[in-house]
Amino acid sequence: MTIGVLALQGAFAAHQQRFADLGIDAPAVRTAQELDGVDALVIPGGESTTMSHLMRTNQLFEPIAARIASGMPVFGTCAGMIMCASDVLDGRPDQRSFGAADLTVRRNGYGRQLASFEVDLDVKGLDSSFHAVFIRAPLAERVGPEVDVLAEHDGVPVLLRHGACTVASFHPELTRDARLHQLFVDSLPASR
Amino acid sequence: MSETGTFPVKRGLAEMMKGGVIMDVVNPEQAKIAEDAGAVAVMALERVPADIRKDGGVARMSDPEMIQGIQEICSIPVMAKARIGHFVEAQILQALDVDFIDESEVLTPADEAYHIDKMAFDVPFVCGATNLGEALRRISEGAAMIRSKGEAGTGNVVEAVRHLRSIIGDMKRLTQADEAELFGWAKELQAPLPLIQEIAETGTLPVPLFCAGGLATPADAALAMQLGADAVFVGSGIFKSDDPSPRAKAIVEATTHFRDADILAKVSRGLGAPMTGIGMDEVNVHYAERGW
């Protein structure tokens, strides 16, 4: 089971480092050929408009959408959460998302950079709290009935799972704590 | 409880811009073109460096109205420049809720001894550097991102290359130094010893290192990335070229695929004339020399 990290733009190297902390080699994915070589995909934090643009210009959107539709596990953080959501508010008109998780997110829903914050979260499945960094984060405004909420902040879901799709509105790749990456690895079919 | 304005939160936004292109824009129309082209952020300013260079005189923070016009039209982060040492311009920019402040040598310095105390702000700062010592002094003042200065407004990449090589080269040399030598390095670079010791250990800056100052083509952007930059700023290079939109898009592609010469060849085709540019022997004011 190979986990790839979408490396068009953003904090992809930090995700690769967290997997390396777990002894897992997670190759970068920039092309459709590289996508063919992986069994699961991480969509990192970054600028969602930039990533969405680059997916289009690099003919990656349709192949990723097709793989997700056929069950490929995906882990989206921040911009990656926006890419995975079924509905995006305050996005660009041409911005597309994969709809891997049944939820409505508002881009930069917490506000601009001055509203960015860090906080300790209680996460379902972890023994102790997880320190989370939120950067111009998306806000989950509606969560579908089949979505499992794994963590909340101020009553708003911030870590969720819908089938094979896990999303976080914060950046687990930015803290030197690979437990959420381990949780994702544990959720993969091959390791069950 | 939750905390805002912390160093991890400031550096976090810089991390999110890695692998991207930050574009200088002077009005909402250009901001739209930049966002459409895939920019990760825009730098809102009244004149691009090439025009500041041409016009001369004192260059200051932009009009808040102009900055807000750009904030209204685009959804990506908006940066703005304050003069070196002008902490009141920075206070105003923070009050405007800009996402990043560039304490920039392209504007006329306001203080010839001190840079802004960036720790005192909740908004993150980026600062220019020509060498590792300068970069570390800015980081110790609270900068969350460093950019190599290059020579803004020239369309000439040579200074950006010099500064990147100097910063990255000295970091490589630090990893080879023994404990006793690190004291000498701290003295020579005029930088705090703990930061020197950290780099000797990690081989990298504690904040992202971007490249700026003179980039004008997709190949320039890929050159900066191959030399070890985390992302690039393109100032005059886009909107002083013949056809800004395709050039902006091509530079975005080149920054993503900076090691793939086939893609670089493809995106470099038919972009029209880049900005004319000037040789370093014709430059009368060296912005990179501003800052201490």
Chain B contact present for A61, CB below 8 A: no
User: Radius of gyration (Cα) for chain A, nearest Å?
Assistant: 15
State how many domains chain A has: 1
Find the CB nearest B3 among A54, A78, A117.
A117
Give me B9's structure tokens.
């939160």
Lowest mean pLDDT among A65-79, B197-211, B259-273, B277-291: B277-291
Q: Which residue of B has its CA nearest to A117?
A: B4
B10 included as an active-site residue: no
For B154-264, strand residue ranges (E) read: 209-211, 231-234
Q: Report residue B281's pLDDT band, with 50, 70 and 90 as the boundaries.
A: confident
**Which of A47, A56, A175 to mutate against chain B (most B CBs within 10 Å)?**
A47
Scanning B239-268 for CB atoms below 8 A from A yields 249, 252-253, 255-257
- Give the predicted TM-score (pTM) of the model: 0.96
Mean pLDDT, 10 residues at a time, chain A of 192 residues: 97 98 98 97 97 96 97 97 96 89 97 98 97 98 98 98 98 97 93 46
CA proximity to A135, closest of A46, A4, A55, A9: A46
Residue A108, domain CATH = 3.40.50.880
Q: How far apart are CA A10 and CA B32, in angstroms?
A: 21
Q: Which residue of A has its CA nearest to B36?
A: A53
Reported as a single tens digit per residue, the pLDDT across B108-164 is: 999 999 999 999 999 999 999 999 999 999 999 999 999 999 999 999 999 999 999
Q: Exposure string (b/e) for B185-223, b if CB count within 10 Å is 16 or more?
A: bbeebebeeebbbbbbeeeebebbbbbbbbbbbbbbbbb
Q: Write phi, then psi, for B16 (nearest 5 degrees).
A: -70, -20
Residue B280 has pLDDT above 90, yes or no: no
Reported as a single tens digit per residue, the pLDDT across B170-208 is: 999 999 999 999 999 999 999 999 999 999 999 999 999
CB contact under 8 A, A45 and B2: no
Q: Report residue B284's pLDDT band, with 50, 70 and 90 as the boundaries.
A: confident
Q: How far apart are CA B88 and CA B90, in angstroms?
A: 5
Average confidence score pLDDT of chain B: 96
For chain B, strand residue ranges (E) read: 3-4, 21-25, 41-44, 78-83, 100-104, 125-129, 145-148, 209-211, 231-234
CB contact under 8 A, A10 and B18: yes
Tell me which of B157 and B276 has the higher pLDDT.
B157
Reported as a single tens digit per residue, the pLDDT across B64-109 is: 999 999 999 999 999 999 999 999 999 999 999 999 999 999 999 9
CB contact under 8 A, A91 and B75: yes
In chain B, what percentage of residues exceed pLDDT 90?
Answer: 92
Residue A36's contacts (CB-CB under 8 Å, 6 or more residues apart) are none
Chain A contact present for B12, CB below 8 A: yes
Cβ neighbours around A182 below 10 Å, total: 17
ipTM reported for the complex, 2 dp: 0.96
Scanning A70-129 for CB atoms below 8 A from B yields 78-79, 90-92, 107-108, 112-119
Q: Which residue of B has its CA nearest to A11?
A: B16
Q: Three-state SS for A132?
A: strand
Domain residues for the domain of A147 are 3-191
pLDDT recorded at residue A192: 43
Q: How does DSSP classify residue A22?
A: T
